[in-house]
Amino acid sequence: MNAQQFREFGTAVIDLLADYVENIRDRDVLPSVEPGYLLNELPENAPEQPEDWKDVLKDFNQAILPGITHWQSPRFHAFYPTGTSYASIIGSMLCDGLSVVGFSWMASPACTELEVVTMNWLGKLLGLPEEFLNSSSGPGGGVIQGSASEATLVGLLVAKDKTVRKLIRNDSTIDEDIIKPKLVAYTSDQCNSSVEKAGLLGSMKMRLLKADADGRLRGETLKRAFEEDREQGLIPCYVVANLGTTGTCAFDPLYELGPVCKEADVWLHVDAAYAGAAFICPEYRHLMKGVEHADSFDINPHKWMNVCFDCSAMWVKNGYDLIRAFDVQRIYLDDVQTDIKIPDYRHWQIPLGRRFRAMKLWTVMRIYGAEGLRNQIRKHIDLAQYFAKLMRADDRFLVEPEPSMGLVCFRLKGGDTITKKLLENLTKKRKIFMVAGTYRDRYMIRFVVCYRLTRKEDIDYSWKQIRDEADCVCTDKIHKKPQIAAIDSLVGREVSEKSK
């Protein structure tokens, strides 16, 4: 493929993507394919000879697109959003076109420095304490990881390294093999699966402590866990606080957890993957009260800030902690030495290689401006409130807990079985996509405003799908409206929690 063909192919794809966005409402959000559809459709072997780009594009349209779950559809209300935007697509194109690997400053100065600049920009927009910023006088700074999973794992590994060093410094006769199995990490039972997995990957016991009735891990609970473990001869090492849990978007009180960690000299990592983006709006910063106690903090601009996956923004108060844990030298990496202010980012992450990910964060921040990004966050939260209002006007539904950010959790008062049936039927119809969760041990459905250009009419559309389907599943006699309270009392469950 020569430059001229690239210009043609590229322009065709630009058009395709613009059309995709403009006409996204014409597509079912879920695909109508069965497992194995594509394995059966595509050849068993790679082509021997080069193929024409028009054939590739044709196959994209005919074979790939029909098998896509459209995360960028306004009918997509599952999980949490994953970002994209015209600005980010272009940032990625520039990144791929240059195709540099930024493991050191010399490997591409702009790659490292634009990451420093944009992470300072973003940290300031979020209102993070000065200590986390590279632009402060201290050793803090930001780094772009591939995912919140990686950030959580990086935090855990650094905390482990730091704790082992500290204990050996205090008593040089201790063997690190004796220390390591005693180290314990803590998070709430509402954490994302990736937090639990970090314990698995990093070989550290990860205790999932019971959250309170509102889904929040409380300071007292954490303190008690530290004490219990110390009594057993174990060593508290790492805590992951969740700002915006995956299930219900609950916020752990950092102002409670922080002092407990400080007193015990335990690393506090904040996983604010989705909800953290909202801190660019000052009115939500009270939800991170106590953040000054954290050692590391992570949000995913690739979730709620229109940046394409992968772009997970992590800040630490002390970059030297990472370097000490991860530094492995080689002669071929021995180039111009820089200081902590211009980091050799390979020491700040798990892999050696790294893309020019700051490029897309930069194009997004420039093309939207801070106001553009704030507007979208506020719009999504408003739309979630609007959805909750529609739902609350229908007394078959219970919205609980209170909507948080772009997430509304709900269930049919008729109970778990009928709520599950509702979700199953809606999923089968492929018009809207939501996933299940639990709240106070009850099955519920999560509705998230995901698409960046969601309009009020989109919410009306999704609500209509849900309402109509409820009409169907509620026709079954036993689940009829008048009987709901009676049925629930039969199984001993509380149905009057709505007003909490």
* Binding residue (CB under 8 A) for its own copies from 240, 299, 314, 365: 365
Pick 304 or 484: Cβ nearer its own copies: 304
Residue 406 per-residue DSSP state: T
Pick 99 or 137: Cβ nearer its own copies: 99
Q: Does 340 bind its own copies (CB under 8 A)?
A: no
Residues 375-434 that bind its own copies (CB under 8 A): none
Q: Which among 269, 272, 266, 305 has a CA at the least distance from the CA of 287?
A: 272
Pick 158 or 257: Cβ nearer its own copies: 158
Q: Does 261 bind its own copies (CB under 8 A)?
A: no
Q: Does 55 bind its own copies (CB under 8 A)?
A: yes
Q: Does 187 bind its own copies (CB under 8 A)?
A: no
Q: Does 246 bind its own copies (CB under 8 A)?
A: yes
Q: Does 329 bind its own copies (CB under 8 A)?
A: yes
Nearest approach in angstroms of CB 328 to its own copies is 4
Pick 160 or 223: Cβ nearer its own copies: 160
Q: Does 189 bind its own copies (CB under 8 A)?
A: no
* Binding residue (CB under 8 A) for its own copies from 136, 385, 417, 438: 438
Separation of alpha carbons 460 and 25, rounded Å: 13
Cα-based torsion angle of the residue sequence 147, 152, 155, 161 in order, rounded to the nearest 10 degrees = -110
- Provide the edge-to-edge strand list for the sheet that holds 183-188: 141-145, 312-316, 296-299, 267-271, 235-242, 183-188, 205-209
Pick 260 or 426: Cβ nearer its own copies: 426
What is Dmax (Cα atoms) for the chain? 76
Separation of alpha carbons 226 and 427, rounded Å: 43
What is the per-residue binding string for its own copies in 57-96, x denoting contact by CB under 8 A?
--xx--xxxxxxxxxx-----xx--xxxxxxxxx-xxx-x
Residue 402 and residue 249 in contact, taking contact as beta carbons nearer than 8 Å: no
Q: Which among 438, 395, 400 has a CA at the least distance from the CA of 420?
A: 438
**Phi, psi for 212 (deg, rounded to 5):** -75, -175
Q: Which stretch binds its own copies (CB under 8 A): 17-25, 377-385, 394-402, 478-486?
A: 17-25
**Phi, psi for 445 (deg, rounded to 5):** -110, 140
Nearest approach in angstroms of CB 428 to its own copies is 11
Residue 81 and residue 309 in contact, taking contact as beta carbons nearer than 8 Å: no
Pick 31 or 253: Cβ nearer its own copies: 31
What is the per-residue binding string for its own copies in 119-148, x denoting contact by CB under 8 A?
-xxx-xx---------x----------xxx
Nearest approach in angstroms of CB 483 to its own copies is 27
Pick 255 or 326: Cβ nearer its own copies: 326
Task: Work out the number of other CB atoms within 10 angstroms of the CB of residue 317.
Answer: 19
Cα-based torsion angle of the residue sequence 33, 35, 38, 39 in order, rounded to the nearest 10 degrees = -160
In Å, how far are 285, 356, 363, 449 from 114, measured between CA atoms? 26, 9, 11, 31
Q: Which stretch binds its own copies (CB under 8 A): 4-12, 165-173, 314-322, 484-492?
A: 4-12
Pick 98 or 472: Cβ nearer its own copies: 98
Nearest approach in angstroms of CB 371 to its own copies is 6
Residues 100-119 that bind its own copies (CB under 8 A): 100-101, 105-111, 113-114, 116-118
Separation of alpha carbons 415 and 232, rounded Å: 42
Pick 66 or 253: Cβ nearer its own copies: 66
Q: Which stretch binds its own copies (CB under 8 A): 215-223, 327-335, 399-407, 485-493?
A: 327-335
* Binding residue (CB under 8 A) for its own copies from 174, 200, 213, 472: 200
Residue 187 and residue 238 in contact, taking contact as beta carbons nearer than 8 Å: no
Separation of alpha carbons 195 and 240, rounded Å: 8
Nearest approach in angstroms of CB 456 to its own copies is 19
Asked if the peptide bond before residue 401 counts as cis, ω within 30 degrees of 0, the response is yes
Residues 267-286 that bind its own copies (CB under 8 A): none
Residue 206 and residue 194 in contact, taking contact as beta carbons nearer than 8 Å: no
Separation of alpha carbons 258 and 50, rounded Å: 58
Token pair for residue 186? 């803590």
Separation of alpha carbons 207 and 227, rounded Å: 13
Q: Which stretch binds its own copies (CB under 8 A): 29-37, 136-144, 284-292, 376-384?
A: 29-37
Nearest approach in angstroms of CB 218 to its own copies is 22
Number of residues near its own copies (by CB under 8 A): 146
* Binding residue (CB under 8 A) for its own copies from 227, 263, 265, 334: 334
Residues 462-481 that bind its own copies (CB under 8 A): none
